[in-house]
Structure 1
Amino acid sequence: MVRAEEPTAGPLLERAAEAAAIDAAIDAAVAGSGSVLLVEGAAGIGKTRLLAHACDRAAAAGMTVLTARAAEYEDGYAWGVVTQLFDSELRSSSGGTREDAATLAARALIQPERPRDEDAYAVLHGLYWLTADIAQRAPLLLAIDDLQWADPPSQRFLAHLARRLGDLRVLLAVTVREPRSATVQDKALTAALAAEPGVLTVRPAALSAAGSARLVAAELGGDPSAAFLAACHELTGGNPLLLRGLLTALAAEGIGGTDADVPHLRRLTPDSVSRHVLLRLGRMPAAVLAAARAVAVLGTSATTARAARLAELDDAACAEAIGVLMAEHLVEGDRQLRFVYPLVRSAIYQDQAPPVRQQWHKRAARLLAAEGASPAEMTAHLLASAASGDPWLTDQLRRAAA
């Protein structure tokens, strides 16, 4: 049974090593040697695309494909991911070499009450034998997307299963978003799976400039200019999700990709990119969003101390917020902070209403002036401030012009 979570789209770009690892793991499972394939990387790097590729390849090889996708804020739904995987199997289970174990697992998962503590291992064991019984009929792929959000009971089962795959015709393929901000307890569950012997971890990288150029040319057609291709790669950092979001917006506008299009390209913030970025930030503490906005407004002048003052956060809270942004692979830098992807910075910056941005720039200019910064460093903030007739702003602009 195939339950596709996401349609495949186009060929894989610069993923030859990852595709080879997937094929090798599928061949091994079909031959009777089970294993775990862990795909981890930053948000938007292409983990789900690789998992979909694995599902396609497994189905072509005659494997049974069962899929599940974990969702943030659903980790309190015990056995949610396991239920996605096995619901139809559990409800239709009849016969089989381990019927009693499978029946216990089915009763525990289908009934609304949680299994008793004394039944916990029996449920894990029953699910293991249910997996083994399915794999007896045909080699089996269990594909789970976004494992970091899976409920703890489901994660415990997957860890239990991972240690017992050696002689089963089963491939367990999971994706995990890393680096990410999370509690130690959250990270421990996925780290334990990654540490199991025989687990193969693949980490897809961002697209190279050449890979980005191929994708741009394929999506826009024609022959985009070198400057346009370079700007697309710079703005997105080769992140496939951000690049595809950018290209969708460009294609809708009929942009051909000439040198003359580059200024417009740099001002563009696609709705899909904004939604993706703002949704991620909206799930974080309010201080993280405030710090991100401060870094976006400060631009090349951004430091943790300046972001704290601009966002009106105490130093410790701002440092922790910046740490979360770094863990989420949104911000980087030691003394000077910068966004990993300029397109992300644009999305956060443009999300603020113009009057609010103007006030933030005015405060940033005063902040820099208090530190004795040069007029040249303050110019961008002065020009972005509201024309309010403030004598101080007028004086600073004249000094900068001089």
Structure 2
Amino acid sequence: MASDVDTAPLVGRADTMAALRSALLDDVAPGQTAAVFLTGESGVGKTRLLAEAAERLRAAGALVLTGACLDIGDASPLHPLRQALRRLDADLTEARTSSAVRGLLQVFDEETPGPDGAGALLERVSRGLHLVAGGRPLVLVLDDLQWVDRSTRQLLLYLLAGLGDLQLSVLAAIRAESLQGAHPLRRVLTELRRLRSVRVVDLAPLDRAGTDELAAAIVGAPLAPEAADQLWQRSGGNPFVVEELARDLRDGHDGLSDTLREVFLARVDALPQPAHAVVHAVAAGVEPVEHWLLAQVVRLPEDQLIEAVREAVAHRLLVGADDGYRLRHRLVAEVLAHELLPAERAALHRRYAEALTSATAELHQARLAHHWRLAGEPARALPAAMAAAREAERLHGYAEAHRHWSAALTLATTPPAVLPDGGRPEPVEADRAELLTHAAESAHHCGEHARALALLEELAADPAGPPTCALHIRRARYLAAAGRSAPAEAEYRRVLAAADCTPRERATAAARLAELLLHLGRYAEAGDQAREALRLAADVEGTASEVVLASSALGFSEAYLEDPDAGLAVMREALDIAERSGRPEDVACAYLHLAELLTGPLNILEEGVVVARRGAERVAELGLGRTWETRLLAIATNGLFRVGQWAEAEKVVAAALRHRPSGADAVELLLARCRLSVGYGDVEASDRDLEAVATVLAGGGARHVLPMLILRAGLAMWQGRHDLARQAVQRGLTESRSDDVIVLATLAWHGLRAEAEASASRTVEVDPNAVRRLREVVDRVAAKSGKAGAPVRYVADGFLALCAAELSRLDDGRGDPELWARAAVEWDRRNHPYPAAYSRLRQAEALFGRRSRLATAGKLLRQAHGTAQALGALPLSEEIRTLAGRARVALDEGPAVVRPAPRPRAAAAEAPTVDELVVLTAREREVLAAVAEGLTNREIGQRLFISERTIGVHVSHIFDKLQVRTRVQASAIFLRNRAD
């Protein structure tokens, strides 16, 4: 099973190649011998590795002879060496060496080794090889050594024993599954392993990264995550199988190729009958198949069963572990599924189901449902599937629960089949409305929003389905999760306007509508709706969830519009209520709103990031990883971006993307990643994310439109497309219904910046109407922010300072350096390095335009450049360098700025190789754990019975020892090492 070396690259073998060169050439002294025997299953890449190693050894100055053994035993003595010499003779041009090669070939033709002449022949061959080598290191490369003839085997032993007089190395490949029983090579390898100069290397399959790399090289592009996962599971990292499957993907072939089918069938057919039965049984089972279960299915005596399993393992078809047996390649199950008659397959699954049912241990309901279904008895499979779904829900495994509820739905509609004995199975009885209800809810919880809506429509058409108001509430929840805000709001309002809805339904609709309005930035409406929801909930028993939702919305509204401290107190109380209720979605919602408030309007970024990451960890424990955890990690990413920790933000967003979110959850994460990509100047990645967001928002999603348009405007400006930036901003001003003055101020800044830069670059004409409209927005933001809470005014004032400075560029074409200096100071105070660096760039530009304070301008440019370089903000760095070049300012003066390492675009955060907390004392670890929970020094002191001043000293020591500056950085190190 050699790979196609013309098209498939060698991947994942760099360490092996280096070790081969060292063992066969670099570490072999003149007159010494060495050998490396590569063992491995068929298709693992032994032949390809031999070819690549031979080429590299030739390039290093060795004389390499390559040959392969034939599967015809001793019928062709010394065949691989003869073959290698003939190949060498055909390639040689030097007369002297060619003569030595032909002389050695003539020895083979003249003499046939017999019992008496074998020693003499080996001596003559050894001398002949010495002449052929001509003083160079000689490497003999042999493939398929499992078929080696006796003469060649004796020659290898003779040469490796050092009885010759040449520097010789042997590199040979052996198919591991062929070394069974009393194979003569097994004994030889056992003896050779004792020699220091001999190594036996078992070539393992590729790891996941190598598999993905090889598949991408063949297909021509990285595989989609689902396709990559499936290929990895099916191939087990075997390079030959990876190549075949990848070619099928590339060429659009469905099913399994005939090549792979025949290869695996041949390997299974080569097994003795008991081992053959064992492999068929494991292929039909749910891995891992425990030994006791396999024994009841194949029904062999214990000693025969163990021997059969041993044979299957030795032939590299099964893998044994403490928890049971697995197929080495899942493809074997696909191949064998078509080799059994339907009655044979049903009988196997029936035996599995009966064995699981009769087991005294706890039932494996999911496996039981699987086997009864494939045995053709849906009535017996359905209760097991429902039990498995409920167990998954109990453990908050919503993705698994959805899979089981979907299977139960299928079973409920499966027509009865004829059993192998000719009888009829029991009829299936199920409450279809109940199944649809559970399937839709589990789909919603695990992020399959489109599927949840489709199932809900089926439920609405079922006569036994829930009442109309309950359906409206569910549909609204699913629509909101899918990012379709407008129809979701309409559904909630239908409930509140309906006369036949219950008080409980009204309270639920009011609370959820308050939450939705909050997400849409309509804070005053959200607060009013939250108060109404709390009033309605007060008269209804068991409305903890409604109280949590309404309190979170009310607290956010009050913190934004009126009193931040009072609002925060309400939100923290909502989190306490949620934790006491224990309902996962309530806990997630409370954490989400608290983190959003802290990292957004209140600008308490460090605490907000810690709360977001702690909340993400908590909801992951509750089984909401794909939905709420991703949203919380998106909030953490945005907070880290604002404080300039872009590298850490990228690790967080990469970890969140592993959940493959959908709907609004995916939009949150894509916008967070796009924010980083725009800052980095990665145009292609930014465009890709914005297109994906626009696609998801096609069905609605007003909440995300403004952030998307702001990013599109920012990206267009770095591309010099000021007309596109203007269009994005004007669309945002037209579509916005948000009360969020911070978002509006950000949008206004981008609009004014686009007009100012269009004027400076003279690429497009300034639009007076657009500028007039933007001035009106700035005035409106100033008026609105004056009525908001102090923290909101604080953040909005920073953007208003940028707007005033941009307007000065429009007014005189140069800009007011004092206004830009004020903007820089404002953003320094807020710990936002990116807009601060941008402001210094513009301040320097304004000073150069006025030809005043040139030394100060140069200092500002160097300071801005250092910040941009540390962030990795390439477009900003380029603009600074362009201005520095025009002004003849050397940016390398002053302290050296270290560039960040290249960014791993999709890499997950790696765990530290050492415990970074080892430098802390036990008490400092306790303090740091509390810091990571988001507690203040006073709260930590109350918990640990230490004064607040002492806690401050501990925190300072922690910062010094961990070499960090903020509580966010310290908390990140704590969470990373605790996860380890």
Provide TM-score, normalisation by structure 1. 0.77
Structure 2 CA distance for aligned equivalents of residues 273 and 320 of structure 1: 27
Identify the match of residue 125 of structure 1 among 111, 123, 126. Answer: 123
Partner of residue 394, structure 1: 425
Partner of residue 294, structure 1: 281
Deviation, structure 1 residue 85: 3.8
Partner of residue 383, structure 1: 373
Structure 2 CA distance for aligned equivalents of residues 301 and 26 of structure 1: 44
Identify the match of residue 147 of structure 1 among 136, 145, 148. Answer: 145
Matched, 1:35 2:38: no
Partner of residue 207, structure 2: 208
| 1:300–1:98 Cα change, 3 Å | closer
| 1:200–1:366 Cα change, 3 Å | closer
Deviation, structure 1 residue 274: 2.4
SS in 2 for 1:222: coil
Structure 2 CA distance for aligned equivalents of residues 244 and 165 of structure 1: 43
Question: Which stretch of the first structure deviates more once superposed, 20-29 or 50-59?
Answer: 20-29
Partner of residue 17, structure 1: 15
Instruction: State percent identity of aligned pairs.
Output: 25
Q: Which amino acid aligns with 1:42?
A: E
SS in 2 for 1:224: coil
Q: Is the 8 A contact 1:14 1:211 kept in 2?
A: yes
| 1:151–1:159 Cα change, 3 Å | same
Q: Is the 8 A contact 1:8 1:53 kept in 2?
A: no
Q: Is the 8 A contact 1:5 1:69 kept in 2?
A: no
| 1:393–1:138 Cα change, 3 Å | farther
Structure 2 CA distance for aligned equivalents of residues 96 and 180 of structure 1: 36
Structure 2 CA distance for aligned equivalents of residues 269 and 299 of structure 1: 21
| 1:16–1:394 Cα change, 3 Å | same
Q: Unaligned regions of 5+ residues in structure 2, if any? A: 90-96, 377-416, 436-980
Q: Is the 8 A contact 2:64 2:140 kept in 1?
A: yes
**More RCO (CA 8 Å, sep 6+):** 1
After superposition, residues 181-260 of structure 1 pair within 5 angstroms as: 182-186=180-184, 187-253=186-252
Partner of residue 70, structure 1: 69
Q: Is the 8 A contact 1:34 1:165 kept in 2?
A: no
SS in 1 for 2:287: helix
Partner of residue 342, structure 1: 330
SS in 2 for 1:38: strand
Structure 2 CA distance for aligned equivalents of residues 188 and 379 of structure 1: 48
Identify the match of residue 352 of structure 1 among 333, 340, 345. Answer: 340
| 1:283–1:85 Cα change, 3 Å | farther
- Name which one, 1 or 2, has greater alpha-carbon Rg: 2
Partner of residue 169, structure 2: 171
| 1:378–1:61 Cα change, 3 Å | same
Structure 1 CA distance for aligned equivalents of residues 101 and 66 of structure 2: 24
Deviation, structure 1 residue 273: 2.6
Identify the match of residue 108 of structure 1 among 100, 111, 134. Answer: 111
Matched, 1:330 2:330: no
Question: Which stretch of the first structure deviates more once superposed, 214-223 or 175-184?
Answer: 175-184
Deviation, structure 1 residue 102: 7.7
Provide TM-score, normalisation by structure 2. 0.35
Q: Is the 8 A contact 2:290 2:323 kept in 1?
A: yes
Q: Which structure has more helix as a fraction of its residues? A: 2
Q: Which amino acid aligns with 1:108?
A: E
Q: Which structure has more strand as a fraction of its residues? A: 1
Partner deviation per Cα, 1:286-336 (whole Å, 9 max, x = no partner): 222221111111233733454355345333222111112222332122352
| 1:180–1:303 Cα change, 3 Å | farther
Q: Which amino acid aligns with 1:177?
A: R
Structure 2 CA distance for aligned equivalents of residues 375 and 312 of structure 1: 23
Structure 2 CA distance for aligned equivalents of residues 384 and 46 of structure 1: 37
Q: Unaligned regions of 5+ residues in structure 1, if any? A: 110-114, 255-263
Q: Is the 8 A contact 1:8 1:52 kept in 2?
A: no
Structure 2 CA distance for aligned equivalents of residues 50 and 97 of structure 1: 26
Q: Is the 8 A contact 1:329 1:340 kept in 2?
A: yes
Structure 1 CA distance for aligned equivalents of residues 304 and 166 of structure 2: 49
Q: Is the 8 A contact 1:180 1:329 kept in 2?
A: no
Structure 2 CA distance for aligned equivalents of residues 97 and 209 of structure 1: 45
Alignment size in residue pairs: 379
RMSD: 4.0
Structure 2 CA distance for aligned equivalents of residues 366 and 71 of structure 1: 48
Structure 1 CA distance for aligned equivalents of residues 121 and 102 of structure 2: 13
Structure 1 CA distance for aligned equivalents of residues 167 and 138 of structure 2: 6
Structure 2 CA distance for aligned equivalents of residues 301 and 63 of structure 1: 48
Q: Which amino acid aligns with 1:193?
A: L
Q: Which amino acid aligns with 2:218?
A: E
Partner deviation per Cα, 1:185-215 (whole Å, 9 max, x = no partner): 5311233333333124444433222222222
Deviation, structure 1 residue 391: 8.8
Identify the match of residue 160 of structure 2 among 147, 159, 162. Answer: 162
After superposition, residues 87-106 of structure 1 pair within 5 angstroms as: 105-106=108-109
SS in 1 for 2:117: helix
Deviation, structure 1 residue 94: 10
Deviation, structure 1 residue 364: 3.4
Structure 2 CA distance for aligned equivalents of residues 89 and 228 of structure 1: 44
Q: Is the 8 A contact 2:67 2:141 kept in 1?
A: yes
Partner deviation per Cα, 1:201-241 (whole Å, 9 max, x = no partner): 44443322222222222222334333332332233222212
Q: Which amino acid aligns with 1:153?
A: S
| 1:278–1:70 Cα change, 3 Å | farther
